[in-house]
Amino acid sequence: MAKLTIRDIAALSGLSKSTVSLVLNNSPKVDPATRRHVLAVMRRNRYVPSFAATALAKGSTRLIGMVVPGLSWHMVASINLGVAAVTEQHGFDIILYTATNDRDYGSLIDRVLTSSMSSGLLVVSHEQPLEPLVQLHQEGMPVVLVNTIDADVALPSVTADNYDGARTAMDHLMQLGHERIACVQGLMRYRCCQDRYRAYLDALREAGIQPDPELTKPGDFVPEQIRARSRELFALPADQRPTAVFAQSDVTAYGVMTAAAEAGLRVPEDVSVLGFDDIESAAQIRPPLTTIQQPFVEMGKRAAELLLSEIGTNDDDPGTDAEPVGEKPSADLPRLVMPTSLIVRASCGPVPVTRSRRGRSQTTKA
């Protein structure tokens, strides 16, 4: 019952450790019959090579670190599903770092990365500084950012096309006849929120509509804040009130809907509400939320593939200090931007008839 080692397997199969090791590593140099025999012995004895010994000898592990900002987000769960699917396929396991605060994040950088515990790092959007990661990456550690929160960093990344998603959202709303469209923003220090807001503005302008600053409200992803700001929106005189609201996340949309209900407004009859993310409950709430779906699972997959390929190429040791690495022009960095999709459900409808031809104080230019 004591753990078997390669030596035991060697003895049991009447061969040397070397040969057993070659079998373990799928070397073509080993005789097929021998290989089969060894494999059988290993199976019969439920032999599994020591993870630590292999890692030490090979100088690398089949482990990738995944840094996530607390798992309460739908996003993280879905991304992980994608990541797990591909890492598993390649025999890699995931070390999960739930960095809920700055402390763990800081220690992580040293601990994980330098100890060569993981051969690569997947970092899901979080608020900590990325410079240490950039440096690590330049020193040869594979790193991929998923859904990064920051603007451009010199790191490979996979993100959703937030700008295009928001444009699609706005197009949908405008096709329904809406012109007085409000925007309840998320955390504007996040790149994704900036992109979504820029799209909101551009969509309006390109349709010849001058955005009304009063229709932009900061929600900051904080429920109370979202609700309070939405109330302001719905307290506007009837002819200034928005006929539609673009919420920068589904949860934000929930807050908007609550405020609408409190104001005695029906969704979508009196006001349309459109979200972003397509979290699980979006289809469950009343009315089901029309929203922009982010392809999180797919993003996770692509990110894992990217990371694994980086690890692959990095397999042959970079060698001496002599030749400087990390001079990569940032143009070389893979930057995947994944398309989003509009999920039409019931929270958006045509602009109310009584409003469709008048009261557009979101001044029309043309």
Q: Which positions touch its own copies (CB under 8 A)? A: 1-3, 46-53, 55-56, 61, 63, 66, 70-74, 76-78, 80-81, 84-85, 88, 93-98, 100, 104, 110-112, 114-117, 139, 223, 251, 254-255, 257-258, 261, 279-281, 283-286, 320-321
Q: Is 18 in the site for DNA (CB under 7 A)?
A: yes
3-state helix, strand, coil in the chain (%, to 5): 45, 15, 40
Binding-site partner at residue 22 among DNA, its own copies, none, CB < 5 to 8 Å by type: DNA
User: DSSP for 247-259?
Assistant: ESSHHHHHHHHHH
Amino acid in the structure at residue 21:
S
How near is the Cβ of 31 to DNA at its closest, in Å?
Answer: 3
Q: Least CB distance from residue 97 to DNA, whole Å?
A: 21
Part in contact with DNA (CB under 7 A); list of ranges 15-23, 232-240, 281-289, 330-338: 15-23
Q: Which residue stretches of 183-313 are H helix?
A: 191-206, 223-234, 250-262, 296-313
> Considering the complex, what minimum distance in angstroms separates the CB of residue 308 from DNA?
18
Give the CA distances from residue 314 to residues 51, 75, 337, in Å, rounded to whole numbers and listed in that order: 21, 29, 24
The pair phi, psi for residue 10, each rounded to 5°, is -60, -50
Does residue 319 bind DNA (CB under 7 A)?
Answer: no
Q: Could you give the CA distance from residue 30 to residue 74 in angstroms, rounded to a whole number?
A: 48
Size of the site for DNA (CB under 7 A): 31
User: Which token pair is 271?
Assistant: 């006001």
Helix (H, G, I), strand (E, B) or coil at 95: strand
16 binds, among its own copies, DNA, none (CB under 5 to 8 A by kind): DNA
- Token pair 């330098």: residue: 114
Q: Which is nearer to its own copies, 109 or 209 (CB)?
A: 109
Torsion of CA 23, 29, 35, 39, to 10 degrees: 10
Instruction: Give the chain's end-to-end CA distance (angstroms, integer).
Output: 83
Phi, psi of 90 (to 5 degrees): -100, 10
Question: In whole angstroms, how close is the CB of 117 to DNA at the nearest point?
Answer: 12
24 binds, among DNA, its own copies, none (CB under 5 to 8 A by kind): DNA
Nearer to its own copies, 206 or 280 (CB): 280
Is 36 among the residues that bind DNA (CB under 7 A)? no
Q: Which of 19, 119, 148, 230 binds DNA (CB under 7 A)?
A: 19
**Nearer to its own copies among residue 110 and residue 206 (C-beta):** 110
In whole angstroms, give the CA distance from residue 126 to residue 220. 15
Among 50, 330, 354, 364, binds DNA (CB under 7 A): 50
Gyration radius of the chain over CA positions: 27
Residue 36: which of DNA, its own copies, none does it interact with, CB under 5 to 8 A by kind?
none
What residue 204 binds from DNA, its own copies, none (CB within 5 to 8 A, per partner kind)? none
Judged by CB under 7 A, the residue of 36, 40, 45, 56 near DNA is 56
Stretch that binds DNA, among 7-15, 187-195, 306-314, 321-329 (CB under 7 A): 7-15
What SS3 state is found at 199? helix
- What value, to the nearest 5°, has the Cα angle with vertex 226 and ends 249 and 224? 125
**84, HSE (Cβ side, Cα atoms, 13 Å):** 8
Taking CB under 7 A as the rule, does residue 40 contact DNA?
Answer: no
3-state secondary structure (DSSP) of residue 314? coil
Residues 6+ apart with CB under 8 A from 334: 156, 157, 306
Nearer to DNA (CB atom), residue 56 or residue 96: 56
Binding window for DNA (CB under 7 A); candidates: 24-32, 147-155, 189-197, 316-324: 24-32
Identify which of residues 27 and 114 has a Cβ nearer to its own copies in the complex: 114
Enumerate binding residues for DNA (CB under 7 A): 3-7, 14-19, 21-22, 24-25, 28-32, 34-35, 47, 49-50, 53-54, 56-59
